[in-house]
Amino acid sequence: MNWMIHNTDSRVQLDIWESVLGLDGWNWETMSTAFRESETMYAPPNATAQKFKYDPAVHGGTGPIDSVFQRSVLSLFPDYLEPTLLNAGYQIPEDRNGGNAVGAGFLPLAISPENYTRSYSGSAYTAAQSRSNLHLIHNARVAGIDWSSTTNGSAVAAGLRYVNTLDDSSNATTHIGGREVIISSGCVQSSQVLELSGVGDSSILRPLGIDVVVDNANVGKW
């Protein structure tokens, strides 16, 4: 249960993407920059500001997704949990969005302060539905990535293919072209899409009859 918590990951964990997986530019610095651009953080009221570890420099102020602090349990952390944790030897970061997410602290929630309802991509980007370059395809299952080049293990995506899950009779595959492909299917299915597309551990893919495009044993493990 994430309770609509809205925060970045730690610097060391996001930098692993770049250093271990060799994904240039996929690191804490770039990811946190994008996160700030998507966020509008509402600071706690002055009367309660001392109860929150909050640094405006590591939060956004003009993005479409709102962030607020949960204000119904103000005294719980500073009066009880924080002294207990410090006494036990744990650290309390100034703001967990600053790259150090180790330790305890209040985290903002993705909630609109106007009506206290969830603020997320669905509500934030509803206005984009009228855009001519936005197409939503329902009841579709991604079958894999189409590649324009796979030379020397350096694969370039050209689009993707999907199956209409409502058309059980034909199970036909449809191809979509694009300038780039962004996989956002969670920690499990994102790896599955990559593996079905030939990106993964060759010792797993080859016995399944999947042509290896990029041999990377880290896919599905990190």
Q: Which residues have C-beta within 8 Å of that of residue 218, sequence separation ≥ 6?
A: 20, 21
Among 79, 95, 127, the domain-final residue is 127
b/e code 97-135 from CB counts within 10 Å (16+ = b)? bbbebeebbbbbbbbbeeeeeebbeeebeeeeeeeeeee
Residue 121 lies inside a defined structural domain of this protein: yes
Note down pLDDT in tens along the chain; length 222 residues.
467 888 888 999 899 989 988 888 999 999 999 999 999 999 887 777 777 778 999 999 999 999 998 766 667 777 888 889 889 988 888 888 999 888 777 788 999 988 888 998 878 777 677 788 888 888 899 999 999 888 766 789 999 999 988 876 667 889 999 888 889 888 889 999 999 999 999 999 999 999 999 999 989 876
SS3 state of residue 162: strand
**Any domain includes 76:** yes
Token pair recorded at residue 155: 């694969």
CATH of the domain at 56: 3.30.560.10
3 state DSSP class of 160: strand
Which pLDDT score is estimated for 1? 46
Read off the pTM.
0.64
3-state secondary structure at position 152: helix
Give pLDDT, residue 31.
Answer: 93
Other Cβ atoms less than 10 A from the Cβ of 70: the count is 17
Domain count along the chain? 2
Tokens 């999947």 found at = 210
Within a domain: residue 5?
A: no
Pick the last residue of a domain from 127, 155, 173.
127
CA-based max dimension of the chain: 64
Domain interval for residue 106 = 11-127
Please say which residue of 105, 127, 149 terminates a domain. Answer: 127
Find out whether 136 and 154 touch, Cβ atoms under 8 Å.
no
pLDDT at 168: 65
